Amino acid sequence: MLIVAENLEQTYLSAGKPLTVLRDVNLSIAPQEFVAIVGPSGSGKTTLLGLLAGLDVPSRGSVRIDGLSLGDLTEDQRARLRAEKVGFVFQTFQLIPTLTALENVLVPIELRGNGAGRTAHGKATEMLERVGLGDRVHHYPAQLSGGEQQRVGLARAFTSEPKILLADEPTGSLDTETGKTVIALLEQLNRDAQTTLVLVTHDGALASRARRVIRLEGGKIVSDSTT
Ligand SMILES: Nc1ncnc2c1ncn2[C@@H]1O[C@H](COP(=O)(O)OP(=O)(O)OP(=O)(O)O)[C@@H](O)[C@H]1O
Ligand SMILES: [Mg+2]
């Protein structure tokens, strides 16, 4: 298994009181699966994705990526594992405001230590073209619309062809047509680059393409079905 979560629980302190937003979450994801995580707003989807990526540390339980237990790693080691294997598309985009679209897309490749070359530059430009931003490469995030910023975030995650791609509502700010382009790119990564996809989505068109749908309600998995 590529991703294994065992007995995950996340509890936050909210106004001094503990609030458990994820509990008893167990799941295993095999290489090259295409999984959609669905569920109502506030059900814990973003929280779960952050834990699977090692961006947050769970209150209880464990996550293993490719046999490595995230809880046994230092923050630096987790960052390195992410740089090498995991692409992440944030619900709120998280672009670096002082970098252009192209420079933002180059960040993960540079973190891996092979960013400066012309190949990286060419790949990043090509990916921006494929998400329809060929004429926006030198724009700063503040000069881009919400949907354009989301596509920069997608291009950033796609360019390094990560082994695992975790994406939080990747089509949430896109119109139907642009959403279709992004869905096609996701499927292509899954098929051609063997990228394992774990996507949180409210988009029926996207969820219907996944071969497995995990539904969260109130912080718990209420169904996990393969089509
Ligand atoms: N840092 C935090 N402190 C306290 N509560 C939090 C924190 N982060 C998230 N929560 C709460 O945890 C719950 C789950 O949040 P999460 O962002 O995972 O939901 P979601 O399923 O992604 O929702 P949406 O579909 O609206 O994005 C929410 O009720 C939220 O208010
Ligand atoms: Mg969310």
**Mean pLDDT confidence for 4-28:** 96
Instruction: Name every protein residue with a CB atom under 6 angstroms from any ligand 1 atom.
Output: 12, 14, 19, 21, 39, 41-47, 91
**Mean pLDDT confidence for 148-170:** 95
Tokens 């995580």 found at: 37
Q: Which atom of ligand 1 is nearest to the CA of 49?
A: 18
pTM recorded for the entire structure:
0.95
Which residues, chain by chain, have CB under 5 Å from ion ligand 2?
46, 91
pLDDT for position 133: 97
Per-domain residue ranges for the chain? 3-226
Q: Which CATH number fits domain 3-226: 3.40.50.300, 3.80.10.10, 3.30.750.210, 2.30.40.10?
A: 3.40.50.300
Distance 113 CA to ligand 2 centre (A): 31
Q: d(Cα 51, Cα 48) in Å, to the nearest integer?
A: 5
Q: d(Cα 168, Cα 80) in Å, to the nearest integer?
A: 21
Closest protein CA for atom 26 of ligand 1: 41
pLDDT in tens, 63-93: 999 999 999 999 999 999 999 999 999 999 9
pLDDT in tens, 108-138: 988 887 656 678 899 999 999 999 999 999 9
pLDDT in tens, 30-69: 999 999 999 999 999 999 999 999 999 999 999 999 999 9
pLDDT for position 18: 95
pLDDT for position 102: 97
In terms of C-beta distances under 8 Å and separation of at least 24 residues, what long-range contacts does 132-136 make, across chains too? 132/178, 132/181, 133/101, 136/101
Mean pLDDT, the chain, integer: 95
Distance 91 CA to ligand 2 centre (A): 6
